[in-house]
Amino acid sequence: MFLPIWLIPRPCTQKGSLGGARALVTYAGVLAVGVGDTVASIFGSIMGEIHWPETKKTFEGTMTSIFAQIISLALILTFDHEVDINHSYAWIWGSLSTVSLLEAYTTQIDNLLLPLYLLILLMA
């Protein structure tokens, strides 16, 4: 979860160099694993009925993961005034959705894979 912070520490970057979606790179681990993966696991196991093909993961878990990450993003934008994402809302929403779908279909260690994947998407 802390790997994006170790790779790109915000105090060490130049002011203004992390504009747009890049301003969220330090939050990639928290959004992907701390919020998304946790909520997907809880709600998917409790309320999940529709399973993704060939997996144990549920559609309900994935959708609540996306919703929880968007709520967390709104909280980050409210309380961290250094984050200014301008007009890249669609890219961020797509990145969060992609990471949530990756969590549903991955057979790898998702706690390592998801923050790095979100970091790469936000840096693009």
pLDDT tens digits, one per residue of 65-83? 999 999 999 999 888 877 7
- As for how many domains the chain has, the answer is 1
Residue 85 has a pLDDT of: 75
Q: Which domain holds residue 56?
A: 3-10+30-123
pLDDT at position 72 is 95
Closest CA to 73 of 115, 41, 31: 31
Low-confidence ranges of the chain (pLDDT < 70): 1-21, 87
Q: Is residue 15 part of a domain?
A: no
Q: Does residue 22 form part of some domain?
A: no
Q: Where are the beta strands (DSSP E) in 44-109?
A: none
Q: 21 in a domain, yes or no?
A: no
For the whole model, what pTM was predicted? 0.83
Residue 78 lies in a domain: yes
